[in-house]
Amino acid sequence: MVRFFLLRASATYLFLLSVLCCVTSIPEGFVADTLVRIPTGYAHIQDLSVGDKVLVSTFNEYVASEAITKIISHEIETIIRVNVDGDIIDMAENQLFFVPLQQRWVPVSQIHEGMYLLSAPLRAVRVKSVSRIEQKTQVYAFSLNKHHNYLVGQHNIVVHNFGPMVFGAVQAAEGITLLNVFLAANPLVAPVTIAVGGAGLIGGLIWKAIGEIKESKKSSKKDKSSGGQPEDPKKPKNNDAEPDPATVRAAAIALLKAIEESRDKAIEVFNKTYEWITTTENGLQAIRHAFENRPKHNFGPLLTRMGANLADKKDVLRVGTKILADVTQKLIAMGSKLPLKDDGVYYNILVEYGGEIITTRGRIIDGIFKMSTMFIQPQHVR
């Protein structure tokens, strides 16, 4: 009975250790006294508890609040220090930040001077410097169930929370010593224990994939169009009717994948889009909307640096056409990294151009990137 209990205990620890193998490493989190944004202001990260609410990014003009579900604290040997526009933040080397110009999460070990990080609600903040300090210290991190991010520092930088996989990995790490003692005292059980641990490894892989499978199912439901249904002969045809949003999104996603796979396809899409910009009323309206309303959209300084005569309306539109075309080309180059809403809309996507961070909104439909508006937020004007 005792041996059976010990076998179960060792198998449990090996299962948790297998979870650790499914993630590259544990170190995520921030050092003590790091500021975390909460609904009433800021709190030091080490003072937060389960159930406390923190502000999170919704990746648009708004922020939301969400309660902490888990908290961890562990020791690291290397600190990464990031200077974000004058605000110094110290953290573990695998802490993830959202890089808006790449539309993806990036570990701080891959972040360098000159990159932009996302600041909530919707702003890009430049990294001034990144340094590495070999020093043992305690770091703190926590988990959220819905948005999986929170805001740190004076600029409300969007960072990723730790997931339950990492929480399990920490528990596994804490059990390694006991497991080694057990195996040393019970050498005959070791082969069985390792076999069980192998099953645990597979279980850990399955566990890691669960979230991705759920998201994939959600995405496939959203992408599923109404195609394949027999047409009702009694229903009158309306050639001007708005296409089904799910169908538009599915077509846009397919186009983005094709762009990634073929440079010729990317060129074809750009040429088609440029023709729409310069020859259609909607395209010309997008140019006028963005560049004739300079006080609101803040393109005056950029137009001036690019040689436009602001007193000459035609010259403004000429340079504005180039800016819109170049920015659209950057969106096309994002490929499948470009996030889309259900109707093929890209919304509040940040693009770096001419030393400015430009916010873009538009829609991919009929194989064309149709920009509806773009502007430079006041805090981004150089």
Domains of the chain by residue range: 2-22+170-209, 30-161, 245-380
Q: In sequence order, what are the beta bridge partners of 99? A: 104
For residues 265 and 258, the answer to whether their CB atoms sit within 8 Å is yes
Contacting residues for 133 by C-beta, under 8 A, at least 6 apart = 78, 79, 80, 81, 90
Q: How many other CB atoms are there within 10 angstroms of residue 354's CB atom?
A: 16
Mean pLDDT computed over 224-230: 40
The DSSP result for 129-195, as a single string, is EEEEEEEEEEEEEEE-SSS-EEEETTTTEEEEPPPHHHHHHHHHHHHHHHHHHHHHH-GGGHHHHHH
For residues 65 and 54, the answer to whether their CB atoms sit within 8 Å is yes
Q: Which one has a higher pLDDT value, 242 or 342?
A: 342
Closest CA relative to residue 101, chosen from 345, 349, 347, 339 = 349
Fold of 30-161: Endonuclease - Pi-scei; Chain A, domain 1 (2.170.16)
Please tell me the distance from the alpha carbon of residue 300 to that of residue 295, in angstroms, as a whole number.
8
Q: Say yes or no to pLDDT of 323 above 80.
A: yes
183-210 tens-digit pLDDT:
444 444 445 444 544 554 455 455 445 5
pLDDT at 342: 81
Helix and strand totals (H; E) in the chain: 9, 16
Q: In sequence order, what are the beta bridge partners of 224? A: none
Please tell me the distance from the alpha carbon of residue 201 to that of residue 199, in angstroms, as a whole number.
5
Average pLDDT, the chain: 79
Lowest pLDDT segment from 125-134, 243-252, 281-290, 308-317 = 243-252
Select, from the ranges 16-30, 152-166, 212-226, 258-272, the one with the highest average predicted confidence (pLDDT): 258-272
Q: Which two tokens mark 339?
A: 């996030």
% residues pLDDT > 70 (the chain): 70
Its pTM stands at 0.61
Q: Say yes or no to pLDDT of 237 above 60.
A: no
Closest CA relative to residue 338, chosen from 357, 313, 363, 374 = 363
pLDDT class for 329, splitting at 50, 70, 90? very high
Closest CA relative to residue 169, chosen from 51, 7, 13, 302 = 13
Going edge to edge, which strands form the sheet with 368-375?
345-353, 356-365, 368-375
Within 13 Å of residue 220, how many CA atoms lie on the same side as its CB?
6
